Amino acid sequence: MTRAALRLGCAAALAVTAWAQGDGQAPPPARRTVFSVRYVAKGAVYIDAGSGEGITPGMVVEISRHETGAAATDRERVATAVVTAVATASAVCEIQAKLLNPATGDEASLSSADEMTRVRADVNQGRRHYLQVLEFTDGDPLEDEIREYVPRPPLEEVNRMRGRIAFERTAILDHDSPAASSSENGAVVRIDWSRIGGSYWTLTGYWRGSLTSSQPASQTTLLDLMNRTYQIGLFYANPKSDWRFGIGRLILPWAASLGAIDGGYAARKVTREVTVGMFAGTNPDPTQWNYAPNRQTVGSFVNMETGRFDGVHWSGTAGIAFTRVNWRPERQYIFVENNYSIGRTFSIFQTAQADYRNPKLMNGATGAQLSQSFLTVRYTPRKRISFDVSDNYFRGVPTFDLRLIGTGLLDQYLFTGVSGGIRVEPIDNLMVTANFGSSRRNGDTSHAVNQAYGVTWRRLPIWDLRLDLRYSTFSSSFGSGSYESVGLTRELFDGLRLQFQGGIQNTQSAYVSQGRARFFNSTVDWQIGRHYFVMGGWLSYRGLSQNYDQISLSLGYRFGR
């Protein structure tokens, strides 16, 4: 860090120097801060300042060039030199680094650190008198002010846009009722557009949906459900502003437990630690525990954050929200979310929601009633191993789509009650997880055992592919069952990627008629040249109430840098 001096005072302070000397004599003339290059030799320059100006051997001199009549900000840096020999009115400086060839008439000045040394020496000798001398470790404020006007190339992140867009054709072959087979045209967009037009707005995320369709309204496939889990939004985040905004399908940054909303938020930092805001939208994600696409939600929150992420850190959010279904009042609830961590070793994550009981619907009962809570404590003593303990509670029945159980997207909701888990990486690229717990639903006479196991091998030797294995048996408020799934990903060569996932799920629940189902999903992504790609997919689904194949083909374009 450079050290600089800022001499504070006024014209009256200069006059005080005569009184400070006590003899009524005029003060010595002020030191020059800019010198001239008088002669240029091979590898050295001579400047018109020496010991009389406080120059000593070892000081660093910065040489610059300033054309007559040009603005101060147009000064060009020429070279850097070190003082090697000093006379009374001149000094020899050996060039250490140069951008241009020095010339007679160039300007020379001491580095910030050496100028500070000269100021201290003058003050101690009584040559300079200031009311106060302040030192800064963050640079010279005068130099920083000048730099604000120096033209600089734009940051790489400014107006950077990259992503891909594709048009997709999909066909659904229904094996139970061929007349119900259908087709649709859709689009896929993935974009990351930062600092749009030099502003602090950023558009980022992923979207996949249909444009035209002959599909019956009642026919929703597994792939359609997975496609609804996308997130995309337009965000405003200016480091010099206290305001933050977001519009689109997004997660509220201060309360991720509320899930994705189709809507937006506005927040303002009122102090360094406290942020307040509001949000509104619908709940379109079928993996949310309170999924209802026709629900409207509006709420407000306050967040407090303190500490640092590499040490002790805490972030807490509390708020209130109101929901309506088809514009009819449904819930009034409060929510809290806390995230506490000590580096990467220890963390606690807790969320809860409590409903205000409507006396018209609860036989006169009032007050708050806990509707959902989640708590997990994680301890990571070593990089390759971690332990966690969780508690999950639902007062009612979650409304997520049960057909997604076999995909692994609902794992966080399958266990009700207390459970413990371990995550181990015995060797590089191999991750093994296990979770155990017990659950007893209302009306059960004994506890049910919850189990979940997972193996992820990021790079299998010889075959050079990624392997994901999952197995779970569960008992929860929505029902009980089990699922097994396997996933494979292989990069054949640069530009060609294959991905496969298959699974079997068994669900016993009063809220679903599917029961047992098997699925197999495959995807091929082929990059053609630098900008174009082809993507194809095939989904085969066999269940008690749905039996179909879904085939898709996409042609797309990649853009950006």
Q: Is residue 95 part of a domain?
A: yes
Q: Is residue 318 part of a domain?
A: no
Report how far apart, in Å, the C-alpha atoms of 286 and of each of 193, 326, 333 are.
27, 18, 21
- Which of 154-168, 253-267, 526-540 has the weakest average pLDDT? 154-168
Question: What gap in Å lies between CA 7 and CA 169, rounded to an integer?
Answer: 72
Q: How confident is the model at residue 345 (pLDDT cuts 50, 70, 90)?
A: very high
What is the average per-residue pLDDT within 527-535?
Answer: 90
pLDDT of residue 33: 84
The structure tokens listed for 529 are 């040249």
pLDDT of residue 8: 34
Top pLDDT among 218 and 93 is at 93
Question: What gap in Å lies between CA 272 and CA 268, rounded to an integer?
Answer: 11
Name 550's Cβ contacts closer than 8 Å, sequence gap at least 6.
170, 171, 172, 173, 221, 223, 537, 538, 539, 541
Tell me which residue of 199, 222, 136, 206 sits closest to 403, measured CA to CA.
222
Question: What gap in Å lies between CA 231 and CA 222, rounded to an integer?
Answer: 18
> Has residue 435 got a pLDDT over 80?
yes
pLDDT of residue 72: 61
Q: What is the DSSP string of 105-118?
A: T-EEEE-HHHHHHH
> Has residue 561 got a pLDDT over 80?
no
Q: Could you give the 3-state DSSP secondary structure of residue 207?
A: strand
> Has residue 494 got a pLDDT over 60?
yes
pLDDT digits (tens, 9 = 90+) for 539-560: 999 987 789 999 999 999 999 8
pLDDT digits (tens, 9 = 90+) for 264-311: 999 999 999 999 999 999 988 888 888 888 889 999 999 999 998 888
> 185-199 burial string, b = 16+ CB within 10 Å, else e?
ebebbbbebbbbeee
pLDDT of residue 263: 95
pLDDT of residue 443: 46
Q: Is residue 15 part of a domain?
A: yes
Percent of the chain with pLDDT over 70: 81
> Cβ of 421: how many Cβ atoms within 10 Å?
19
Top pLDDT among 456 and 124 is at 456
pLDDT of residue 18: 39
Radius of gyration of the chain (CA): 34
The structure tokens listed for 183 are 């087709």
Top pLDDT among 187 and 115 is at 187
pLDDT of residue 41: 86
Please, are residues 46 and 61 in contact by the beta-carbon 8 Å criterion? no
Q: What is the DSSP string of 70-85?
A: --GGGPEEEEEEEEEE
Q: What is the DSSP string of 193-209?
A: EESGGGSSEEEEEEEEE
pLDDT of residue 471: 94
Q: Is residue 77 part of a domain?
A: yes
Q: Is residue 110 part of a domain?
A: yes
Q: Is residue 552 part of a domain?
A: no
> Has residue 151 got a pLDDT over 70?
no
pLDDT of residue 23: 46
> Has residue 484 got a pLDDT over 60?
yes
What is the average per-residue pLDDT within 494-521?
Answer: 84
The structure tokens listed for 406 are 């076999």
H helical segments located in 336-485: 411-414
Average pLDDT in the chain: 82
pLDDT of residue 480: 82
> Has residue 176 got a pLDDT over 50?
yes
Q: Is residue 307 part of a domain?
A: no
Name 362's Cβ contacts closer than 8 Å, sequence gap at least 6.
none
What is the average per-residue pLDDT within 357-383?
Answer: 78
Q: How confident is the model at residue 234 (pLDDT cuts 50, 70, 90)?
A: very high
pLDDT of residue 77: 87
pLDDT of residue 11: 34
Q: What is the residue range of 48's domain? A: 4-147
Q: Could you give the 3-state DSSP secondary structure of residue 309?
A: coil
Task: Report which secondary-structure segment, H or E, holds 452.
Answer: strand 448-457
What is the average per-residue pLDDT within 465-485?
Answer: 88
Percent of the chain with pLDDT over 90: 42
Q: Could you give the 3-state DSSP secondary structure of residue 67?
A: coil
Name 136's Cβ contacts closer than 8 Å, sequence gap at least 6.
3, 4, 6
Question: What gap in Å lies between CA 32 and CA 114, rounded to an integer?
Answer: 14
pLDDT of residue 14: 37
pLDDT of residue 289: 84
Q: Is residue 48 part of a domain?
A: yes
How many structural domains are present in the chain? Answer: 1
Q: What is the pTM of this model?
A: 0.67
Exposed/middle/buried for 258, CB within 10 Å: 0-12, 13-18, 19+? buried
pLDDT digits (tens, 9 = 90+) for 374-421: 999 999 999 899 999 999 888 877 888 888 887 888 888 888 888 999
pLDDT of residue 210: 81
> Cβ of 202: how many Cβ atoms within 10 Å?
19
What is the average per-residue pLDDT within 346-363?
Answer: 79
Top pLDDT among 87 and 13 is at 87
What is the average per-residue pLDDT within 76-84?
Answer: 90
Q: Look up the CATH number of the domain holding residue 140.
A: 2.40.10.170
The structure tokens listed for 171 are 């066909």
pLDDT of residue 20: 43
- Enumerate long-range contacts of 119-128, CB under 8 Å, 24 or more apart: 119/5, 119/7, 121/54, 122/31, 122/54, 126/21, 127/28, 127/31, 128/30, 128/31
pLDDT of residue 326: 80
> Has residue 132 got a pLDDT over 60?
no
